[in-house]
Amino acid sequence: MASSKKEGSITSNPAEPVAAAFTPEGQELLSQLTPDQAATKKLATELTLSLRKAGHPAGLVSAVVHQLALRFKARAKFGPFAERMILTQAGLEQATRLPVAARHAGRMRDAGVGHVADLGCGLGADAMAMAALGIDVTAVEADEVTAAAATVNTAPFPNVTVVHGLAEEADISAADAVWMDPARRETTTSGTRRRWNPEAFSPPLSFVETLADRGLPMGVKLGPGIPHESIPETAEAQWVEHNGSVVEATLWFNEARRAQVRRAALVLKDDQTAELTSSAAHPDLDSDALALGEDVPIIETDSNLSLPVLSDTATYGTYLHEPAGAVIRAGLVADLAVQLEATGLDPHIAYLTGDTASATPLANSYRIDMVMPYKIKALRSWVRDNRIGQLTIKKRGLDVTPEELRTILLGKGHGDGSATLVLTRIGKQRIVFGCELIPGSAV
């Protein structure tokens, strides 16, 4: 393996201009411009024409404007750090958001780690977060351009060394822990596309398990859609949500894994943090895990009626709860129902109802104002009678396109009122809840 800090030429994907951004001319031009100047395609085109008119070479201009556009997008993940980073499209798509990377680094620090081998470091987000906590990092990246970008991005941290090479061939003898972010995207001439098969990752999940058998504290970042049956029994799986987006599923092994935790949903929302954990595997894989239909009461229905029967033991509560995406991905909806003392609407639908609003980012809570069968004519009348002009539509379990339904229901608009409609089903019955979001509960 060769260190990416050595001198030499950088080859890049011809579909994405990057190489010229590494040159002194590229760095100088980037320092004179801001990402806002390439925030849209129109602005990027105007900037390109302006720079070409000023006499800058086409290749240099293309690379610089491309970097500025990526830096503008990268603000959502890296904040002010994006202003000085070198980026690639694929690297940015897979890069860890800095608040989440800080969580990874904290887990390593709490495990007493002093030197991490970061295998598949990408643009260096996790390496920077760990280095900021005083952890030495050897960051290994297989793609030459990405490794060079990581070298620039981690330059402020003297305790990071970036190496260009394969994760499977990396010398990790000096490390006392491993962090890994396998490549889950492949670059094509038309952009990037996601790989879904864990064995198609680079390196594959089987390599992860083999490395974990060495006994070192280890964390592995995977996509949130990883099948539960693919998760090794020796791992803790933590699904992470940040400001409404489920961004990853992290597997923790050995000393980095928490005792008695098999599944976890971690929700980060601005300055709020909440987590739900379980010692059992997914309900489909472990008979001891909570299953919504067995451990949480379900509203009883009568097929001869247009609406569910309100039984003595399971009725509509004052509120409708919408579990956070990480809770759903982790298979912890039933556990959340127990925590909220809530009732399930349907064993196959991730909506709950109860009499107490959620005070945790683990769920949105909506006050239920009305319940009716899903009938377009009745809904149009309800929207008109309540002078609704702004309408949010959510749905689970129904084949409905919210945008199309909103157009049908609003028409030319009826007033200045606002409402949220939640479309779902209970058994075979299609139901609509008219709701109002409770401030402070949204994730």
The 10s digit of each residue's pLDDT in 281-306 is 887 776 666 666 555 555 444 433 33
**pLDDT: which is higher, 427 or 30:** 30
- Give the C-alpha separation, 284 to 332, whole Å: 12
Model pLDDT, residue 301 = 43
Over pLDDT 90: what percentage of the chain?
62
Structural contact between residues 256 and 135, judged by C-beta atoms closer than 8 angstroms = no
pLDDT digits (tens, 9 = 90+) for 335-373: 998 899 888 888 888 899 989 898 889 999 999 988 888
How does residue 46 score in pLDDT terms, banded at 50, 70 and 90? very high
Average pLDDT score over residue span 182-197: 62
> Which DSSP string do the residues of 406-432 spell out, in sequence order?
HHHHHTT---SEEEEEEEEEETTEEEE
Mean pLDDT value across residues 145-150: 95
Q: What is d(CA 55, CA 440) in angstroms, rounded to the nearest whole number?
A: 53
- CA 129/CA 122 separation, integer angstroms: 13
Quick count: other Cβ atoms within 10 Å of Cβ 391?
Answer: 20
Rounded Cα distance between 411 and 173, Å, is 67
Dump pLDDT digits (tens) for 313-337: 345 788 999 999 999 999 999 899 8
Q: Mean of the per-residue pLDDT values for the chain?
A: 86
What's the rounded Cα separation, in Å, for the pair 431 and 416? 25
Asked if 11 and 19 touch (Cβ cutoff 8 Å), the reply is yes
